[in-house]
Structure 1
Amino acid sequence: MRYGSFSEVIEEAKRRRPIRMSVAAAQDLAVLEAIKDAVELGIIEPVLVGDHNQISQLASLMGFPLNKFEVIPASTDEEAAFKAAEIASDGRTQAIMKGLVNSTPFLKGVLHRQLSLRTGRIFSHLSAFEIPGTESLLFMTDGGINISPDFGQKKQIVLNALEFLKQIGMDSPRTAILAANELVMESMPVTCEASLLVAEIKVKMDIPIEGPLPLDLAISKDSLLHKGIDSELDGKADLLIVPTIEAGNIFGKAITYYAHGTMAGIVLGAKVPLVLNSRSDSAKAKLASIALAVVAASNAAIPV
Structure 2
Amino acid sequence: MEISGFQQLKQDLKHIPPKAAVVAAAHEEHTLQAVRQAQEDGLIRPVLVGDAPEIQRLTQAMGWQVPEEDVVDEKDEAGCARRAVELIRQGRGSLLIKGMLQTGTLLKEVVRHGTGIRESAVLSHVAILDVPAYHKLMFITDGGMVVIPDLEQKRAILHNALGLCRFLGYDRPKAAVLCAVETVNPKMQETVDAAALKEEGARGDFGDCLVEGPISLDLATDREAAAIKGYYSPVAGDADIFLVPNITAGNLLGKSLYGLAGGDMAGLVMGASVPITINSRGATPAEKYDSILIAAAMAQ
TM range (shorter): over 0.9
Query: 269, 272, 275: which is aligned to 1:270?
Result: 272
Aligned-residue offset at 1:270: 0.4
Aligned to 1:242: 244
The secondary structure found in structure 2 opposite 1:48 is: strand
Aligned to 1:81: 81
Unaligned runs of 5+ in 1: 299-304
Unaligned runs of 5+ in 2: none
The secondary structure found in structure 2 opposite 1:88 is: helix
1:7 and 2:13 matched: no
1:224-257 C-alpha deviation (Å, 9 max, x unpaired): 2212221121411010000011111111111122
Aligned-residue offset at 1:113: 3.0
Sequence identity percentage: 36
Rounded to whole Å, the distance in 2 between the matches of 1:146 and 1:263 is 19
How high is the TM-score relative to the length of structure 1? 0.93
Over the residues paired in the alignment, what is the CA RMSD in angstroms? 1.6
Amino acid in the other structure paired with 2:33? E
Aligned-residue offset at 1:95: 0.5
Rounded to whole Å, the distance in 1 between the matches of 2:181 and 2:290 is 33
Aligned to 2:100: 100
Amino acid in the other structure paired with 1:176? A
Rounded to whole Å, the distance in 2 between the matches of 1:175 and 1:259 is 22
Aligned to 1:111: 111
| Paired positions, count | 298
**Residues 220 and 235 in structure 1, CA contact (< 8 A), matched pair in contact too:** yes
1:184 and 2:184 matched: yes
Rounded to whole Å, the distance in 2 between the matches of 1:69 and 1:233 is 50
The secondary structure found in structure 2 opposite 1:272 is: coil
1:37-69 C-alpha deviation (Å, 9 max, x unpaired): 111111111111010011111111222221387
Aligned to 2:122: 122
**Residues 126 and 139 in structure 2, CA contact (< 8 A), matched pair in contact too:** yes
How high is the TM-score relative to the length of structure 2? 0.95
**Residues 13 and 294 in structure 1, CA contact (< 8 A), matched pair in contact too:** no
Rounded to whole Å, the distance in 2 between the matches of 1:151 and 1:27 is 40
Aligned-residue offset at 1:168: 2.3
Amino acid in the other structure paired with 1:87? L
1:18-51 C-alpha deviation (Å, 9 max, x unpaired): 1111000000111011111111111111111010
Aligned-residue offset at 1:116: 5.6
Amino acid in the other structure paired with 2:186? E
1:285 and 2:287 matched: yes
The secondary structure found in structure 2 opposite 1:109 is: helix
Aligned-residue offset at 1:165: 1.8
Rounded to whole Å, the distance in 2 between the matches of 1:12 and 1:46 is 22
